[in-house]
Amino acid sequence: MTRPVHRVAPRTDGPIRQDGLRAHNLVLTFRQIAGARDAPISRSELAAATGLTRPTITRIVDELLAAELIVEAGPSRSGGSGRPRVGLSLARSGPAGLGLDIRADVLSACVVDLTGTVRHLEFADRPGAGPEAVLGGLAAMAGRAVTAAAAENLTVVGVTLAVPGPVRDDAVVRLAPALGWRDVNAGAALSGRLGLPVHVGNDARLAALAEWYAAGPELRDFVCVSGEFDIGAGLVLDGAQLDGWAGELGHVMVGSGGPPCVCGATGCLQCYAGLESILAASGDRGAGSPEVARSPAVAIDALVSAGDPRILAALDEAATALGIAIAGLVNLVRVDTVLLGGGYALLASWLIDGIHRELRRRVLRTGWSPVEVRPAPLGPDAAVIGAALSAVDRVRRDPNGWLARLHR
Amino acid sequence: MTRPVHRVAPRTDGPIRQDGLRAHNLVLTFRQIAGARDAPISRSELAAATGLTRPTITRIVDELLAAELIVEAGPSRSGGSGRPRVGLSLARSGPAGLGLDIRADVLSACVVDLTGTVRHLEFADRPGAGPEAVLGGLAAMAGRAVTAAAAENLTVVGVTLAVPGPVRDDAVVRLAPALGWRDVNAGAALSGRLGLPVHVGNDARLAALAEWYAAGPELRDFVCVSGEFDIGAGLVLDGAQLDGWAGELGHVMVGSGGPPCVCGATGCLQCYAGLESILAASGDRGAGSPEVARSPAVAIDALVSAGDPRILAALDEAATALGIAIAGLVNLVRVDTVLLGGGYALLASWLIDGIHRELRRRVLRTGWSPVEVRPAPLGPDAAVIGAALSAVDRVRRDPNGWLARLHR
DNA sequence: CCAGTTACGTCAATCTCTGAAACAAATCCC
DNA sequence: GGGATTTGTTTCAGAGATTGACGTAACTGG
């Protein structure tokens, strides 16, 4: 029986030589182990799942064990007779990823190990001034996180910073209106301070990665809509995240007229369904205050609990706008699930019906294959966690790099 | 120097054995030859491009020559001294693909060879009645095309039918309002009559494939918007077509109110920018008549030439609507080129400015990386040609299947 | 306690590519 | 015409990887 995994097949570009073959099969085996997640997988099962023979699996497993990328669990058998199978699973020590995130009023840092488990999660107030101060704060947090990781036998192999906005070359923040950043080379700045490779990624994309890990392999085709001020959509399609996906959902047109968006156009989704816009539409009460800035979703939730009728109307309007934008997305991309992430996770119960209504109206496909809309379990922390996962994911995708490090 | 190719890397899912290695390197070499297109490539260049050694290339090339998948061109050298290099290029006989398309009032069939050259293109009136009559007409055309291909030493290895609408399992037409079809298993029906594997694909997707071939390897990230009544968008991203891309652009919302669309909602792009809608908006003159049905784009063009002011207004409105929808798409997917295909190719000069205007307004990215909009060279025939290409593409992607056929 | 069963490890055989070298072929340049 | 140059073919030994067969380990059930 083939076990489900996130992605089995390594991509081999270029010629394969004998050693390339070896590397390929090692990656294949490793991913199978990673895909097994909670349930440790035995050597025989690996042989069946990968199509390799048992001797080959033995050799590869030995190599992975020597590198301490995987560990042998105690003998665990499902029932039959015979020698019990030895479970193999990812090591909980060794390589780790460090994620950083900048939210409205708070910085966060997160360390995950190879298994995707969160081992460290820390928050700090966000320094108000320009990029320099923020990057300094992030670097300090990152330093603390690296030592905390080392104390648990974890080696941080890479850092990823999540930012709300488009990114160029995995390093330069093109434009992040929520931060007031424009063409900031955050990758180089942090990399210089930390002495580690730093990638910069879009927060919605990274949030989708975290939700994907958390949800398990059944979730193969979905978007995760998230954001506080900007609205982004992370995509997983056919069990993979897509290079070339921009996901700037916030600037999809959902209505005519209205106030101009930061982008200059009118009718952008953000102006109807951004959390700040929802607050403003509900009567502007408290918008701009510190506690609202810290978490506008909580502020909205509080208003709802207080029974404010205007916030319900604003949420309804936001749901319609989100529904229209998501309908456009779902018409273009064949996903079967929509996760409401970030701040929307908290507000999902007031949004889902309205979104569903628009999807049913505007997406032909819902007639024969329904689209599910549900809150994303990780909520606002998804982006940091996703950033950390993306950093360690490089080892997961190609463990040969980690092996090479040991042979030196 | 590495030559540009559409996609160099074969995707190898599953384990690689020693013989798999051999197959992999053969595919690699074959694709390099296919990618060279017009300019034949020599064995030495292949060695340099693939990273394999010359003896290995010699062996692989011998195998491909024996299978008659490639041919040696006359000695062609670029200038230096020494023995002239022998150019290798794809054979113009051997495997071929057959494409079928159903347009408003006309059926078409097309045969392309391995090189992607159109070797046969035929049109026929579309029988009016239900799916059965249409499929019968297609089967008859397909039969003629297969014999015509055989006369030129071509073996049709697969058939693809293009339909305007979503398709399930490469075989069943989910819904094609323009044809009045719903859940028609066209794949099984045609396959039964022809005795060949028949796949069914979305016309916009296949049109994008054809335009991609025609444009050459520089075009790596684009959408091709096309359609007569329905509007679809085919996508090529990062040099590959995407499984999971639906591309139903026609039902993206671009305005509020207006008449209800066939999908039930209001404000769909199709209602503003469908060719029939443009005609209707211009004063409904001749809409529904046979010559308009045969080619609404030609009818529109004729009105423009006649200096009708209302058609210009309708085109301007259509351009704005297209611009809004395409802006939404471009916000989600990082493409740098938009091709106006199908009927829009003919009308491009009256549409491009309006589309550009909306893109500049609504797509953040245009500030630093401009998006080009231009007519698609193949126009309305792109879908049939793309269908034929997609059929022969299976051999191009994995020539080992064709080799195995010979060894039997 | 022993047979049956399943899991895992070891060994020679086989396959493919590499690298070097020698060689043949075809052209350019002097 | 002869030398230089580049391309393509052939040969050989060698390395690396997988396979297939056999042997060993460990547990269940009677």
pLDDT digits (tens, 9 = 90+) for B104-159: 789 999 999 999 999 999 999 988 778 999 999 999 999 999 999 999 999 999 99
**Sheet with strand A106-113: strands edge to edge:** A118-125, A106-113, A94-102, A154-163, A198-202
Interchain CB distance below 8 Å, B333 and A246: yes
Interchain CB distance below 8 Å, B244 and A221: yes
pLDDT for the residue numbered B79: 61
Q: Is the pLDDT of residue B10 over 60?
A: no
| For range B261-290, the mean pLDDT | 82
Closest partner CB to A247 (pick from B252, B255, B332): B332
pLDDT category at B14 given cuts 50, 70, 90 is low
Q: Is the pLDDT of residue B9 over 60?
A: no
User: Does residue B58 approach strand D to less than 7 Å at its CB?
Assistant: yes
| For range B171-198, the mean pLDDT | 95
Interchain CB distance below 8 Å, A251 and B363: yes
Domains contained in chain B, CATH given: 18-90 (1.10.10.10), 94-207+383-399 (3.30.420.40), 209-380 (3.30.420.40)
Closest by CA position to A216, among listed A239, A232, A235, A237? A239
| For range B149-174, the mean pLDDT | 96
Q: Is the pLDDT of residue B3 over 50?
A: no
Interchain CB distance below 8 Å, A12 and B14: no
Residue B205 distance to chain A (closest CA, Å):
12
Would strands B94-102 and B106-113 be described as parallel, antiparallel, or unpaired? antiparallel
pLDDT for the residue numbered A292: 63
pLDDT for the residue numbered B378: 97
Mean pLDDT, chain B, rounded, equals 88
CA of A408 to C1' of D23 (A): 36
pLDDT for the residue numbered A233: 98
Q: Decide if B123 contacts B82 (C-beta within 8 A).
A: no
Ranges of residues in chain A with a pLDDT under 50 are 1-12
Query: Tens of pLDDT along A74-130?
Result: 666 566 677 778 888 999 999 999 999 998 789 999 999 999 999 999 999 988 778
Residue B304 distance to chain A (closest CA, Å):
29
Helix extents (H) in A333-342 = none
Residue A80 distance to chain B (closest CA, Å):
28
In chain B, residues with a C-beta closer than 8 Å to the C-beta of A238 are 243-244
Query: Tens of pLDDT along B31-51?
Result: 888 888 778 888 888 888 888
pLDDT higher for B212 or A300?
A: B212
Q: Name the percent of chain B lying above pLDDT 70.
A: 90
| For range B352-357, the mean pLDDT | 97
pLDDT category at B16 given cuts 50, 70, 90 is low
Helix, strand or coil for residue B372?
strand
pLDDT for the residue numbered A404: 77
| For range B274-300, the mean pLDDT | 74
Nucleotide nearest to B81 (CA to C1'): C28
Nucleotide nearest to B59 (CA to C1'): D9
Q: Decide if B254 contacts B260 (C-beta within 8 A).
A: no
* Cβ–Cβ contact B203 with A under 8 A: no
In chain A, residues with a C-beta closer than 8 Å to the C-beta of B249 are 331-332
- B124 phi and psi, to 5 degrees? -150, 155
How far apart are the C-alpha atoms of A2 and A5, rounded to whole Å? 9
Q: Which of A45-49, A171-175, B178-182, B309-313 has the lowest mean pLDDT?
A: A45-49
**Which DSSP helix (H) or strand (E) runs through A100?**
strand A94-102
Find residues 317-336 of chain A whose CB sits inside 8 Å of chain B: 324-325, 327-335
CA-based angle B196:B201:B204, to the nearest 5? 145
| For range B66-71, the mean pLDDT | 90
pLDDT higher for A10 or B340?
A: B340
Q: Decide if A77 contacts A45 (C-beta within 8 A).
A: no
* Cβ–Cβ contact A150 with B under 8 A: no
User: What nucleotides of chain D have any atom within 7 angstroms of a protein Cβ?
Assistant: 3-12, 15-21, 25-29
How far apart are the C-alpha atoms of A43 and A57, rounded to whole Å? 6
Q: Chain B: residue nearest A165 by CA?
A: B364
CA of B41 to C1' of C29 (A): 26
Q: Which of A361-370, B69-78, B242-251, B394-403 has the lowest mean pLDDT?
A: B69-78
